[in-house]
Amino acid sequence: MKRDYAQLLPYIFKKFSILSARRTLLPTVKYYCSRKALPASDKPALFTMNILPPMATVWYEMVCRNLGDSVDIVIFDCSGKLNPKDFPRAKVQKFLNKYAATKSDEFIQHIAKNRRIAWICDDDMFPMSNKMLDVLKKEFNEPNTATVSFRPREWWHYQIDGKKYKPSSSYCIAFNRDIFWEKEKLSLAPCNGNEHPSLIGKPPNRYDTFDKANETLLEKGYRCYIVPKEEEDEYYAGFSGVSGAVMLLNHFKTPEQVINYYLTPPKEAWSGNMLFGTLQAMISISVIQEVYEKIKGHKYPLKSLPSREQLEKILNDHKEYLRDDQDISRVYETRERLLNALK
């Protein structure tokens, strides 16, 4: 059955989860038999989940360089392709590619149960300063602080008792487990029914990962601290939403097929989010491959990834159809910061 560009992504997400289960199902079952937790420690437990192996390598490198041994690292390998020997300071667990909220809840409730601070960080969010640890220490010293977020959502806000609050998001956020789980028994699960005001005209409608629990914490009077906007770049470098591009690279066999995926849709479709978003993510992945090569001394094989020049040409050829807010300058800023961090 032939699917158009919009129908393809949901299908290949399911396909990836099924195919990767050949490598992750048995390890996941074994994990659930013991649910072994990290030992007790004052260190934050830092968690990410990965479907693109070179991304895990870059993320791990930045964590080790910038946070050192001040955190204990846990990686859920949802592609089943990571070699734990490449991550000697991390606990690498092959795990079914379930929803992000399900995996994050598992980490908070079980793996980090002997820690006060459970820290979740997407693998395309790269810690760039050990001052992040100072932020956690300072903010969690206030006993009513439930969470500390380094990157909030920007396009809508909570309206609670006449006050506005930014959604903390789950991109890079640390939790006080004593509040979030031991006391309140909250989950990061998404759900429908988000009627809070939007900043871009489009209503949220849905609570994404952690949004509903975030709302509950605010309604109960807890403090959900968010790093000021002007300080964000001091602490992390990051991309935005690469999973769709990862799915396309796993689905297609050649760069030509990927290029054709972008050239087939009608031109006006480029003003939407899907084509621009996945193409931006493709360019981000080409940056990851470049940084990976700097770390490892060789490229990670991504056989269907077009060259960066080919991807940039597609973008330039469709520039007239893009919205004013569709800009990839941050991808190149992140590239420079990651490469400079390796010098």
Q: Are residues 46 and 95 in the same domain?
A: yes
Q: Are residues 275 and 265 in the same domain?
A: yes
Here the CATH number for the domain that contains residue 130 is: 3.90.550.10
Angle at Cα 175 formed by Cα 174 and Cα 179, nearest 5°? 165
Q: Greatest CA span in the chain, whole angstroms?
A: 57
Angle at Cα 139 formed by Cα 135 and Cα 142, nearest 5°? 160
48, 171 contact by CB (below 8 A)? no
* b/e burial code for range 311-329 (CB count within 10 A of at least 16 → b): beebbeebeebbeeebebe
Q: Are residues 194 and 183 in the same domain?
A: yes
Q: Are residues 97 and 29 in the same domain?
A: yes
Task: Tell me, yes or no, whether 244 lies in a domain.
Answer: yes
Q: Name the region of 68 (left: φ>0; alpha: ψ -120 to 50; beta: rest).
A: left
Task: Tell me, yes or no, whether 81 lies in a domain.
Answer: yes
pTM of the model: 0.96
Q: Are residues 67 and 186 in the same domain?
A: yes
pLDDT beyond 90 at 97: yes
Token pair of 102 as six digits = 């399900």
Q: Are residues 186 and 284 in the same domain?
A: no
pLDDT digits (tens, 9 = 90+) for 155-176: 999 999 999 999 999 999 999 9
pLDDT digits (tens, 9 = 90+) for 260-297: 999 999 999 999 999 999 999 999 999 999 999 999 99
Domain boundary among 237, 268, 300: 237
The dihedral through the CA atoms of 317, 320, 321, 326 has a sign that is positive
Domain boundary among 220, 237, 254: 237
pLDDT digits (tens, 9 = 90+) for 211-246: 999 999 999 999 999 999 999 999 999 998 899 999
Task: Tell me, yes or no, whether 14 lies in a domain.
Answer: no
Structural domain of residue 186, as residue ranges?
A: 21-237
Q: Are residues 219 and 300 in the same domain?
A: no
Helix (H, G, I), strand (E, B) or coil at 161: coil
pLDDT beyond 70 at 306: yes
Q: Are residues 220 and 264 in the same domain?
A: no
Q: Are residues 273 and 331 in the same domain?
A: yes
Cα atoms found within 13 Å of the Cα of residue 201, Cβ hemisphere only: 0
3-state helix, strand, coil in the chain (%, to 5): 50, 15, 35
Task: Tell me, yes or no, whether 218 lies in a domain.
Answer: yes
pLDDT score recorded for residue 162: 94
pLDDT beyond 90 at 146: yes
Predicted confidence band of residue 1 (pLDDT cuts 50, 70, 90): low
How far is Cα 125 from Cα 111, in angstroms, rounded to an integer?
21
pLDDT digits (tens, 9 = 90+) for 49-78: 999 999 999 999 999 999 999 999 999 999
Task: Tell me, yes or no, whether 8 lies in a domain.
Answer: no
pLDDT score recorded for residue 201: 80
pLDDT score recorded for residue 4: 81
Q: Which residues pair with 73 in a beta bridge?
A: 46, 90
88, 20 contact by CB (below 8 A)? no
Domain boundary among 237, 253, 268: 237
Task: Tell me, yes or no, whether 9 lies in a domain.
Answer: no
Q: Name the region of 193 (left: φ>0; alpha: ψ -120 to 50; beta: rest).
A: left
Q: Are residues 298 and 308 in the same domain?
A: yes
Q: Are residues 221 and 265 in the same domain?
A: no
Task: Tell me, yes or no, whether 3 lies in a domain.
Answer: no
Q: How many CB atoms lie within 10 A of CB 146?
A: 27
95, 76 contact by CB (below 8 A)? yes
The number of folded domains in the chain is 2
Q: What is the mean pLDDT of the chain?
A: 97
Task: Tell me, yes or no, whether 1 lies in a domain.
Answer: no
For the chain, list the strands marked E by DSSP: 45-50, 72-77, 90-94, 117-121, 125-127, 145-149, 158-160, 163-165, 172-176, 191-194, 205-207, 223-226, 236-238
Q: Are residues 29 and 151 in the same domain?
A: yes
